[in-house]
Structure 1
Amino acid sequence: MPEDDSGVNRRNVLKSIGIGALGSTLAVAGSGSVSATTDDSTHYHNALYGPHFPDPTIHRAGDGTWWSYGTNMNRNSDSDELLVPILRSDNLHEWTYVGEAFDSRPGWTYGSIWAPDIHYYDGEWVMFYSLSPRPWESGEFGIGLAKSDTPDGPFTDYGQIIGDNDHASGGSIDGYFVDYNGTPYLFWGSFQGIYLVELTSDLQDWKPGTLQQVAGDAYEGSTVFYRNGYWYLFVATGTCCNGYSSTYEVEVGRSTNFFGPYTDVSGTDMMNYNSDNAGIAQLTSNGRFVAPAHGDITTDDNGQDWFVYHAYDRTGPEYVDGVPARQFFIDRVEWTDDDWPVIAGDKTPSLQSVEPNTNDSGILADGIYEIQNVNSGKVMEVADASTSDGANVRQWTANDCTCQRWWVEYIGGGEYRIVNENSNRALDVPDGTTTDGASLQQWPWFTGAAQKWNIIDNGDGTYRIENVATGDVAEVYNAGTADGDDVVQWPWNGGDQQRWNFNFIGGVQPLWDGRPW
């Protein structure tokens, strides 16, 4: 159910927001500015660097510092183009510009350097980069190699590793290096298939006969990540460079075998996707941040994984000197019990989140609960066990109906989604209205802030349920004690009608239709 921007209470909307900060239409440009109100000492705010730092790659040095490298391409002119800009950070969320990776352009094709991929390998910093001829020049697309003793360069160029003339596939850009059991490999490709090839030991060439395709024509911008017995292939799909009209997003496949096949969460082989945006998005646009994709993964001191990527900010410039203004973002990667990634809590860029290297866990374990009102002793249910969109939420004497059971799931930053087990629909403030006394309803999960809830410990064993969009809490209307009394939102006043017990029923997650992965 879409939210009405004009009704959002911006004094409270970001009060406790972390991962997945904004819903799908909460911060549309032109509807008024949204500013964070949380403590800056514990939260960071996207975008982290701009107005131009697309295709970021990241690696952590032995001294604990993070280094990120990006594109600064202008295919129409090289007058102000940077030769791979470098950022440095001690904490993953505060970044300083260091300089350029190259002192001069690689000479094998005079063109734009883009989509760098950085790793520390065999005692050196190695960078694979894409090089494309300018529109008025001859030459081939390809991937080159450069090395440096230090992360800030300068990097020495070793020339082209693979190019479009080396094979019939084309799309020879966007490399991603992996050391697999001591053997070097390179993933690469751009909308003509994603490929995998073994490299020579010095990384300066590829071995004929080892080339294989692992994903279809829908993708570019590969990132490969190993976790818990699976190899994950993060890929970008859609259009990257059409400003706010761009459709870029991230899709993910995984395999227990490094060489594939890589299948997505639906079980579909990634080889079968040949149309943009045809698969299941694991990171996509919301109302403020557009076209998030083409990134990399790193891990902080607490073992928390983070995805760095680029996106547009509708409150910022769409273009800078004619170049799309794709800025630098970071969001945490959570993992489901069956080992699928969930980026930024609701799979859209967050405006703000809890800083890296800090612990962020919910006060309630994920599971199925009866939610019991302290004043009346009755439990929250969907009226008449309805499965309809917009059905009313009320209180009733507990009777073991699945309409009285709720899947409570932590999505980060202090926020939860609360989904009815019977209907597979989420607890919702309709249209994100800030009206005191507005009845709560159920609607399919759409990642909006009106469906996100802060569950707050009252200090007496009870909890209040605060809506992220409105700042109001769930209560039984007029402190009623009768079956059928409405559950509404109201400003917190400490009354028992606003206090709830969460009675744990079980920990098995229902496979509800609205599940976002």
Structure 2
Amino acid sequence: MADDDSGVDRRSVLKTIGVGALGTAGGVASSGSASGSTDGSTHYHNELYGPHFPDPTIHRDDSGTWWAYGTNMNRDDGSNDSAERLVPILRSDNLHEWTYVGEAFGSRPGWTYGSIWAPDIHYYDGEWVMFYSLSPRPWESGEFGIGLAKSDTPDGPFTDYGQIIGDTDHAGGGTIDGYFVEYDGTPYLFWGSFQGIYVMELTADLQDWRSGTLQQVAGDAYEGSTVFSRNGYWYLFVATGTCCGGYSSTYEVEVGRSTDFFGPYTDPSGTDMLNYDSDNAGIAQLTANDRFVAPAHGDITTDDNGKDWFVYHAYDANAQEYVDGVPARKFFVDRVEWTDDDWPIIGGDKTPSLQSVEPNTTDTGILADGIYEIENVNSGKLLEVADAGTSDGDNVRQWNANDCTCQRWWVEYIGGGEYRIFNQNSTRALDVPDGSTADGASLQQWAWWTGGPQKWDIVENGDGTYRIRNVASGKVADVNNASTADGADVIQWSWNGGDNQKWNFNFVETVQPTDDGRPW
């Protein structure tokens, strides 16, 4: 949710005081435009906007322009907190290059003095409607609640219609993080922060809620709801963990689904999300990797090709920035892939991507997913795990074909030009150990941990062969000293065009991955 510069475990505080999220600190919004850097092709690089744009919500207008709105950000001119930005707005024509537009409000909503968090934007009944969370200042002093504002245009200004619901209107607390859905012609609002996720029916003008319709749909582990309908299911995307402790935060996204709008919402293990009351207890569909920390609290949109995209915030551990002494949460977007049985996987491997194919373009790999024997062009021998090992750190080498499953590899496209390569025998991933970038580092197998050293670009050489380039190091798989002997070590080395760096992918069979994205 909003920033926490106190070092306090916000979820513990919420449970103790019975109200919403705590603390705020701001960010700096730039004028002009910002985007993720590109590589000159059809790729973009996360993150897309910074240094600070938490809790993004997104909607696309009829002209095709996307509009994103975030939690408040302090100005950088030294003024006090009364001058914080009142919901910053970004716009984009392509979903990956963003321009700062201004603020949603011309003046602070007046029903309590506080900070505006977690806006939720939709176009409904001919108007742009925004539900926002408002926290009192100081945060111990009053009631948390959700308000409504409307505008004729997405860039505002938005007219405030005051509070819709607050902590004193029901038995629990955590009355923030609203998400609006129209279902069967009736308006509803999902909301909640670490004291249950709820849904309630709204009045036709959206300015109040109908008594007796409040229903809990998920447990105390969650906040930041997003609701999405697809293929006969309603999906409840929620954030769990710690959002605002900087680079040690544990925020991530979990997902439940139901064939009924009102639930029960169950996760991929079949567990009713009402039963989750502990942080990070369920199955993550988006979680941290070695660079991007605490990815969560976002929204979903769909591009021109019918591909779904999740916008969210995360910390960048490799480019740490601080705004008013608080670590900055930056703006990300990643594609949502769907398994054959309709579960979402965000970013291709459930972690933030550094690079991905741009929205509105076709993102397909050059090899179909499946089991392959990977043959060195120079030696004619196959890539294998030594001695059919199944342990982390086992050596990867070449050997004459012998029908061992240790010589067969599940090759899976994860988007953005990147693949992961699992050994069929061990179910471990091809890996450059310790993230080495040195020529000569031996390749090994390790359990999948989502890092760049386990991701590979498979590049066509123009002669029907391929090179296997490590995403983290930029170096390619190479048979040491161009050996043709059984047992020769497979290493990484700078590309030099030698046949010992070229590989054939000989297709064996197709295997469907499981719900968690693994092939077995």
For normalisation by structure 2, the TM-score amounts to 0.86
SS at match of 2:165: strand
Q: Measured at CA, do residues 315 and 383 of structure 1 come closer, stay the same or move farther in structure 2, by a change above 3 Å?
A: closer
String of CA shifts for 1:168-199, please: whole Å, max 9, x gaps: 02211100011122221111000001111122
**2:451 equivalent in structure 1:** 448
Distance 1:497 1:373 in 2: 6
> Which residue of the other structure, out of 109, 113, 136, is the alignment partner of 2:112?
109
Following superposition, the deviation at residue 232 of structure 1 comes to 1.6
1:410 aligned to 404, 410, 413, which one? Answer: 413
Post-superposition offset of 1:126: 0.8
Cα pair distance change 1:54/1:465, threshold 3 Å: same
CA gap of 1:289–1:69, structure 2 versus 1, over 3 A, is same
**Given residue 54 of structure 1, which amino acid in structure 2 is its aligned partner?**
P
- Number of the residue aligned with 1:502: 505
The answer to whether the aligner puts 1:79 opposite 2:79 as a matched pair is no
For 2:378 and 2:341, the matched residues in 1 are separated by 38
CA distance in 2 between counterparts of 1:207 and 1:292 reads 34
Q: Is the 8 A contact 1:417 1:453 kept in 2?
A: yes
Q: Does 1:194 align with 2:197?
A: yes
Alignment size in residue pairs: 481
Match status 1:208 vs 2:211: yes
Tell me the distance in 2 between the aligned counterparts of 1:515 and 1:247: 23
Cα displacement (A) at 1:136: 6.8
The higher-RCO structure (CA 8 Å, 6+ apart) is 1
Q: Do the aligned partners of 2:164 and 2:207 also contact (CA within 8 Å) in 1?
A: yes
1:422-501 equivalences under 5 Å are: 422-501=425-504
Corresponding residue for 2:59? 59
| Residue of 301, 313, 316 corresponding to 1:313 | 316
| Alignment partners' CA distance in 1, 2:328 and 2:496 | 45
Q: Partners of 2:99 and 2:516 in 1: how far apart?
A: 44
Which residue of the other structure, out of 275, 279, 290, is the alignment partner of 1:276? 279
Pairwise CA distance, 1:493: 2.8
Matched, 1:380 2:386: no
> Is the alpha carbon distance of 1:400 and 1:338 closer, same or farther for their aligned partners in structure 2, counting shifts above 3 Å?
farther
Do 1:368 and 1:509's aligned partners in 2 also have CA atoms closer than 8 Å? no
TM-aligned CA distance change 1:495 to 1:97, over 3 Å: closer
* Equivalent residue in structure 1 for 2:300, among 291, 294, 297: 297
Match of 1:25 in 2: none
- Letter of the aligned partner of 2:119 in structure 1? P
Query: Which 10-residue stretch deviates more, 247-256 or 216-225?
Result: 247-256
Question: Partners in 1 of 2:419 and 2:118 — Cα distance?
Answer: 36
Secondary structure at the counterpart of residue 82 of structure 2:
coil
Contact 2:268/2:515 (<8 A) preserved:
no
Counterpart for residue 156 of structure 2: 153
| Deviations 1:115-171, CA, capped at 9 Å, x for gaps | 110001111111111112112785321111111111111212222212111110221
Mapped partners of 1:476, 1:319: distance in 2 = 45
CA contact (8 A) 2:221 2:241 kept: yes
Which letter maps to 1:184?
P
CA distance in 2, matches of 1:113, 1:101: 11
* CA deviation profile, 1:220-243 (whole Å, cap 9, x unmatched): 000111222322211111222222
- CA 1:310–1:136: 2 relative to 1, 3 Å: closer
Normalising by the residue count of structure 1, what TM-score does the alignment of the two structures yield? Answer: 0.87
Structure-2 change in CA distance of 1:352 and 1:512 (3 Å): closer
Query: Does 1:98 find its partner at 2:101?
Result: yes
1:71 and 1:115 in contact (8 A); partners too? yes
SS at match of 1:185: strand
Q: Which runs of 5+ in 2 are unaligned?
A: 1-35
Superimposed CA distance per residue, residues 84-110 of structure 1 (whole angstroms, 9 cap, x where no aligned partner): 111111111222222221222222222
Between 53-62 and 91-100, the greater mean CA deviation after superposition: 91-100
Write out per-residue CA displacement over residues 238-294 of structure 1, whole angstroms, 9 at most, x where no aligned residue. 222222232222222222222222222233221121111222222223343332211
Which SS does the other structure have where 1:79 is aligned? helix
CA RMSD of aligned residues (A): 2.5
Amino acid of the structure 2 residue aligned with 1:176: Y
In the alignment, the residues of structure 1 paired with residue 52 and residue 473 of structure 2 have an alpha-carbon distance, to the nearest angstrom, of 34
Matching residue of 2:132: 129
Does residue 50 of structure 1 match 2:50?
Answer: yes
CA distance in 1, matches of 2:458, 2:46: 24
Whether contact under 8 Å (2:289, 2:450) holds in the other structure is no
Partners of 1:73 and 1:112 within 8 A in 2: no
